[in-house]
Amino acid sequence: MALRYDATQPPQLCGPWQGDTAPAFAHGYPQLRGLDGCGSASSASASARTASSSSSAPRRAGVGVGAALAAALAGRRQGERVRFPQPMEVGGRSITSAVVLREFRTATRAVLVELQPGGARFICKFEDLRMEHALMAALKQMNARWRSSGISLFGCPVQVVPYDILPLSVELGLVEAVPNSRTLCDLSRGLPHAERHLRVLQALASEPRRLDRLAATSV
């Protein structure tokens, strides 16, 4: 498997892949599966015509969703609710507003948002996530192959915890928030600097079974 990437073009996965990997990048953002379900250039064009002809129709990925979300969410602070002028279709959901739940201290000022209606939570990153989307597609294929081969470690199935990555534009992408997860920064809170290298071990309370599961799900 090879990954071709050009900053001006969507990445291309080449190799014996099937399903939602290489075809997802064939035509760029409007055709990314998981955004609006489009599988061909013609269907994306039809969606764009529908959206532009009706002000009440949800705004679809590929015709301004990324730019619109970037403009609406940039600079928003924790606790703010952003209402959109018209519905937007993101990840198969029609959303009308978003609530900023958390601000991350990152270079791109990423924020955790809750999309309404529905309450789906995503980390909103103000950058191009096409490469990350391609790598996650490859990891999902690896999961399928490990599962079909029955590979395990310490009695735990070997598998990566998958999550959705939605690259809406070069300006913005969404990363699905994994429930009950914590960042390494979260695990470091309250620990002396000299003990931060032990933060994962302490968070898992040194329990052998939990450590085995961590080993089987780490890549």
Query: What digits encode the pLDDT tens for the residues 35-67?
Result: 333 333 333 333 333 434 444 445 444 448 898
Decide: 154 and 216 in contact? Cβ < 8 Å. Answer: yes
Q: Model pTM?
A: 0.66
**How many CB atoms within 10 Å of residue 144?**
13
130 vs 215, higher pLDDT: 130
Amino acid at 4: R
